[in-house]
Amino acid sequence: MSEYLIDVRNLKQYFPIRSGWFGVKAVDDVSFCIKPGETLGLVGESGCGKTTVGRTILHLYKPTDGHILYKGEPVTSETVHKYRQEMQMVFQDPYSSLNPRMTVSDIVGEPLDIHSLYSTKKERAERITELLSLVGLNSDHARRYAHEFSGGQRQRIGIARALAVNPEFIVCDEPVSALDVSIQAQVINTFEDLQQKLGIAYLFIAHDLLVVKHISRRIAVMYLGRIVEIADADEVITHPAHPYTQSLISAIPIPDPKTARTRKRIPLEGDVPSPLNMPSGCAFRTRCRYATERCAQERPPLAEIETHYEEPACSAAGHDDARFLRRRRHGRRGL
C-alpha cells in the first residue's frame, strides 16, 4: 500500500490534430501525488492543461503515456469502472453539467444505480435524502428539476452526485468560478466541511489564486502543459520561486486599496505561446525576464528534493535568485 492516495507519474496527454506529427501536447510530463484527505490546488491560465490533467486522472481521456496510481494500484481503461466508485468529479458549469430532463433525485441517484449501491427503493430514497442534506439541500428538492435552482444550489447538486458513491477523491474542476462572490463562499465552505466530515481528498482546479490558496494545503502551478512549481500553499504565495509564479502572484487583484496602491506588479510581456508551436527548452522563456541562452537549449529539469517533490523547473532563476539557491540546499518545509 502506498502512502499516497493518488500518484500521477509522467502523465502525458496529446490530442491529435490534422497537421503535424504529435498533435497538441495538452499535458506534457506531469507528476504529482495527493495524500488521503489532502487538497492539492492546481492553478494556471486557460489553455495550460489543468482541466485535462483532472479529466485524464479519471480516464475521461485515455492518457497518451504515463501512469496514474490509486493507492499504489494502476488505473487503466479496464479497471477504471471500479475506481470510479473511489474517484469522482465536480464540473465547472453548474448549468450544463446537470441533465435538464432529470429530477434531482434521478441525478443524484444515477451513480447509485450504476454501481448498484442499494437493495430496496426505500434505501435508495433514504440515501438520496442523506446526500442532499450533506450538501445543505433538503428532501423537498429531490422532486424538482435542475432549472428550478440557483447557480449555487445547482453546484451543490453536482457535489451530492459526486458524493453518492462515497468517493475518497474528487476532482473539482473550477467548481466556484461560475458563482457570485457571496455564493462562492458558501460552496467553498461546503467543500471544506465535507473534507472534515468524510476525509475526502481534492484536486482543486481553479484560476482564482485567492480561492485556491484558501482551500489548498499544497499548490501546483502549471504553464503550457507542465508543472513549473509545486509546494506548500503559503510557500508558493509568499516565496514564489519560478519567474512565472512570481508574475502570477504579483498579478492577483488584491481587494485592499492600500496594498493595491503600493504593491509592484511583475508584468508579463505578450501572450501565452500556442501549444501547437511550443518554444524549445523552457516553455516560459519567451516571456521570462531572466531568460538566457541556456533556457532555449534545454528544458529545465524538475529538481527533486524529496521523493515525489519537484523544485521549480527553471534554470535561470537558479542563477539569478539567491533565495532560490538557499531553498534548494535546504529543501522545503512541510513536504
Partner 1 sequence: MNEPLLQVKNLCTSFDVDSGEVRAVNGISFNLEKGRVLGIVGESGSGKSVTAYSIMRILVEPGRITGGQILFNGEDIVQYSKQQMREFRGKRVSIIFQDPMTSLNPVYTIGNQLREAILLHTDRNHEQANARALEMLQLVGVNEPEKRLKQYPYELSGGMRQRVMIAMALACEPDILIADEPTTALDVTIQAQILELMQSLQKKMGMAIIMITHDLGVIADMCDEIIVMYAGRICERGTADEIFYNPRHEYTKGLLRSIPRLDTGHTRLIPIAGSPVDLTNMPKGCAFASRCDNCMKICLSELPDELDINDFHKASCWMNVKQVYDEAAEDTKAVSLKKEGQ
**Span interacting with partner 1, options 71-79, 114-122, 245-253, 295-303, rule CB under 8 A:** 245-253
3-state helix, strand, coil in the chain (%, to 5): 40, 20, 45
Q: Does 211 bind partner 1 (CB under 8 A)?
A: yes
The SS3 call for residue 9 is strand
Q: Does 247 bind partner 1 (CB under 8 A)?
A: yes
DSSP code of residue 277:
S
Q: Does 106 bind partner 1 (CB under 8 A)?
A: no
Q: From residue 264, how far is each of 17, 242, 246, 260, 267 by CA, in Å?
A: 41, 17, 11, 8, 9
- Judged by beta carbon, residue 25 or residue 213, the one nearer partner 1 is 213
How far, in Å, CA of 293 to CA of 246, rounded?
A: 21
Q: Identify residues 81-100 at the interface with partner 1 (CB under 8 A).
A: none
Q: Identify residues 21-50 at the interface with partner 1 (CB under 8 A).
A: 45-46
State how far Cα 300 lies from the chain centre. Answer: 23
How far, in Å, CA of 315 to CA of 242, rounded?
A: 9
**Span interacting with partner 1, options 21-29, 84-92, 269-277, 320-328, rule CB under 8 A:** 269-277
- Shortest reach from residue 86's CB to partner 1, in Å: 27
Q: Which of 199, 267, 301, 331 binds partner 1 (CB under 8 A)?
A: 267
- Shortest reach from residue 268's CB to partner 1, in Å: 5
**Span interacting with partner 1, options 76-84, 86-94, 106-114, 206-214, rule CB under 8 A:** 206-214
Instruction: Tally Cβ neighbours within 10 Å of residue 289.
Output: 13
Cell numbers found for residue 264:
509592484
Q: Which of 154, 213, 242, 327 binds partner 1 (CB under 8 A)?
A: 213
Q: Does 125 bind partner 1 (CB under 8 A)?
A: no
Q: Does 185 bind partner 1 (CB under 8 A)?
A: yes
How far, in Å, CA of 40 to CA of 141, rounded?
A: 32
Q: Does 251 bind partner 1 (CB under 8 A)?
A: yes
- Judged by beta carbon, residue 166 or residue 186, the one nearer partner 1 is 186
Specify the residue for cell string 450533506.
Answer: 134
By CB under 8 A, the count of residues binding partner 1 is 42
Sign of CA dihedral 323, 324, 325, 329: positive
Neighbouring-strand partners of residue 65: 12
Residue ranges binding partner 1 (CB under 8 A): 45-46, 150, 152-153, 180-186, 188-189, 192, 207-211, 213-214, 237, 247-248, 250-260, 265, 267-268, 270-272
